Chain A
Amino acid sequence: MPNDPNRDVFRAYRPVWVSLRSFACFFLLWWLLYLWNGNPLQLPSPVKVFEALWGLLREGEIAEHASVSTLRMLTALCLAIAVAVPLGFVMGLSRQAQQFIEPLVEILRPISGIAWLPLALFIFGVGDTLPVFIMFYVGFFPIVLNTMAGVKQTDPRLLAAARTMGVGPLPLLFYVLVPSALPTIMVGIRLAFAGSWAAIVAAELIGAPSGLGFAIEWYRQLLMTPKVFAFILAIGVVGYLCDLGLRALQKRLTPWAEGVGVA
């Protein structure tokens, strides 16, 4: 019956329904694995994990650790943007500056942020600085490379037109170059976020007295496995929400952008 209203409702919510069904299958599989494994210290049942999650949420422990981690992440990301975006502009605008700076970037880039952990532990010790440093390092490269690429992609005709009309260097920067490079920069920032959010867990796991990564490891050592799973879920959810936020920002700031980006 094509005009059956129930059918239309069903169709509209079909994606939701399908997702629910897949999640139900997933949890069923998990539960069966739990029964088969038979060791709740290794693999707790989904019910226990949700109980732990609810408990941690009510006691505010998740919010506490998540806010610490998010604050570190934001600090690192802002620092990375503050350093990398101007540097990227300089590198994009001047070929000589690019020749000066790019080799160093290309030498350091393959050394992953995590490989800096032991050395950084010596320099900064356990604390707030270490995760911020690691995340800054991880976030720096995508932003600088994307900014440079974005500036270079600027349509030369636009620049020439603006110059012909007597636009000064500063307005040229703010009204032509920045809008043209912004979509690519935003892609860089999202990549930087994804990388540094992955690195924060490692950094906090080893070298911080607080934060989501620390909490995971702490409860593992106490063998409170349901809480470990709950915190892992929290990491996924916070990461997902931050990416949603960045995506919204991207749409807001650069509504003209299509899928662009490098690296």
Chain B
Amino acid sequence: MMKHTGNESRTFSIVRNLTLPVLLIVLWHLWALALPTGSPAPTPIKVVQTLGEMLGKGDLVSATVQSLGRVLTGFSVASMLGIVLGLMMGSSQAVRENLDPIIESFRPIAPMAILPIAILLLGTGTPTALAIVAYASFFPVVVNTVHGVSRVDRKLVLAARTMGVSRFAILTRVVLPGALPSILLGTRLAMGVAWTAIIAAELAVGAKSGGGGSGGIGQMMFVFYAYNIDLNAIVVCMTVVGLVALCIDHIFKMLEKRLTPWRQEI
């Protein structure tokens, strides 16, 4: 047996990590070589070329920024509402009893299912996209906030109350920090769902309004699908969607570490 030094096994594991993705790309390339000329099928080389062109034109960046802006707006509104409502539901039984049935019965209704209603009420523009994003991100935030509040140490609340701390101060100084890890988890989940929902909403709005001017990266994908058929560009958009999702997830994980360093792994 050969003795692996630490360095060597590290190289091995990097090689192993890269094997499958590289292999797939090579296979894709070989498959693309066998295609007849003029086929619309995406190939690795053309995808990279298209990426370069789209970056050069700047429409990819502007569409992504537009989608991200919508996600952030809708998400902020929904998470504010979700956190406030969740804190209220978590700390008052009366509020929880009354709101829980309604929230639980809306939860299984997917954001995409209310899209037709949103289109009817708000048209095919930005308001619809915002409504879908807000709806999608509201539930993870509110549910996790309630859960977080329920796990706050009862003794801390009682201690604060014994010392004559006001209700509002208890909420902001005891309950909120106690529930923060769970709330942050909720917002991270919500942001992931919101990003998925915006793509779906923009895609479907594009599909159903005949490419109406709603913009965003989902709409862009739809235009590449239906009007100027360009599969390479669709693959580029998919990659961007994935990268953005990855970045969002990392930023929120970093925030979690920063804001709640005392938290244990959930």
Residues of A within 8 A of B (CB): 15, 18-19, 21-23, 25-26, 41-43, 96, 99-104, 107-108, 110-119, 121-122, 197-202, 205-206, 213, 216-217, 220-221, 225, 228-229, 232-233, 235-237, 239-240, 243
Query: Which listed residue (A43, A100, A115) contacts B221, Cβ 8 A?
Result: A115
Inter-subunit contact B238/A111 (CB<8 Å): yes
* B214-226 contact mask (Cβ, 8 Å, vs A): 1 or 0: 0000000110110
Inter-subunit contact B242/A107 (CB<8 Å): yes
Inter-subunit contact A115/B238 (CB<8 Å): yes
Inter-subunit contact B108/A240 (CB<8 Å): yes
Interface centre among B116, B207, B238 (most CB of A within 10 A): B116
B33 on interface, CB distance cutoff 8 Å:
no
> What is the total of A-B residue contacts with beta carbons within 8 Å?
148
Query: Which listed residue (B200, B234, B243) contacts A110, Cβ 8 A?
Result: B243
A118 and B234 in contact (CB under 8 A), knowing A110-B245, A198-B112, A236-B106? yes
Interface centre among B13, B109, B114, B120 (most CB of A within 10 A): B109
A117, B117: Cα distance in complex, Å: 22
A51, B105: Cα distance in complex, Å: 20
Residue in chain B with minimal CB distance to A239: B108
A220 and B119 in contact (CB under 8 A), knowing A18-B97, A99-B17, A201-B112? yes
Inter-subunit contact A43/B121 (CB<8 Å): yes
Inter-subunit contact B21/A112 (CB<8 Å): no
Number of interface residues of B (CB under 8 A): 54
Inter-subunit contact A112/B16 (CB<8 Å): no
A48, B112: Cα distance in complex, Å: 23
Interface centre among A118, A201, A205, A217 (most CB of B within 10 A): A118
B99 on interface, CB distance cutoff 8 Å:
yes
Residue in chain A with minimal CB distance to B116: A220
A85, B245: Cα distance in complex, Å: 25
16 A-B pairs whose Cβ atoms sit less than 8 Å apart in the complex: A18-B97, A43-B121, A100-B20, A103-B17, A103-B20, A112-B195, A112-B196, A112-B241, A117-B203, A118-B221, A118-B234, A119-B238, A198-B110, A202-B200, A213-B112, A217-B208
Inter-subunit contact A228/B117 (CB<8 Å): yes
Interface centre among A101, A221, A229, A232 (most CB of B within 10 A): A232
B2 on interface, CB distance cutoff 8 Å:
no
- Residues in chain A near residue B245, CB distance under 8 A: 110-112
Residues of B within 8 A of A (CB): 13, 16-21, 24, 40, 42, 97-99, 101-102, 105-106, 108-117, 119-121, 195-196, 199-200, 203-204, 207-208, 221-222, 224-225, 231, 234-235, 237-239, 241-243, 245-246, 249
Inter-subunit contact A104/B20 (CB<8 Å): yes
A206 and B21 in contact (CB under 8 A), knowing A18-B98, A236-B109? no
Inter-subunit contact A23/B102 (CB<8 Å): yes
A12, B123: Cα distance in complex, Å: 46
Inter-subunit contact B203/A114 (CB<8 Å): yes
Residue in chain A with minimal CB distance to B193: A198
B27 to chain A, nearest CB (A): 13
Query: Which listed residue (A107, A116, A117, A243) contacts B108, Cβ 8 A?
Result: A243
Residue in chain B with minimal CB distance to A114: B200
A201 and B120 in contact (CB under 8 A), knowing A206-B204, A239-B108? no
B160 to chain A, nearest CB (A): 28
A235, B102: Cα distance in complex, Å: 16
Inter-subunit contact A115/B199 (CB<8 Å): yes
Inter-subunit contact B108/A100 (CB<8 Å): no
Inter-subunit contact B20/A206 (CB<8 Å): no
A235 and B242 in contact (CB under 8 A), knowing A23-B101, A118-B234? no
A236 and B105 in contact (CB under 8 A), knowing A116-B238, A201-B110? yes
- Residues in chain A near residue B108, CB distance under 8 A: 197, 235-237, 239-240, 243
B118 to chain A, nearest CB (A): 10
A233, B113: Cα distance in complex, Å: 9
The 3 closest A-B pairs by CB, nearest first: A110-B245, A111-B242, A118-B225
A185 to chain B, nearest CB (A): 20
Inter-subunit contact B109/A235 (CB<8 Å): yes
- Residues in chain B near residue A236, CB distance under 8 A: 105-106, 108-109, 113
- Residues in chain B near residue A237, CB distance under 8 A: 108
Query: Which listed residue (B110, B117, B199, B207) contacts A235, Cβ 8 A?
Result: B110
- Residues in chain A near residue B203, CB distance under 8 A: 114, 117-118, 202, 206
Residue in chain B with minimal CB distance to A198: B110
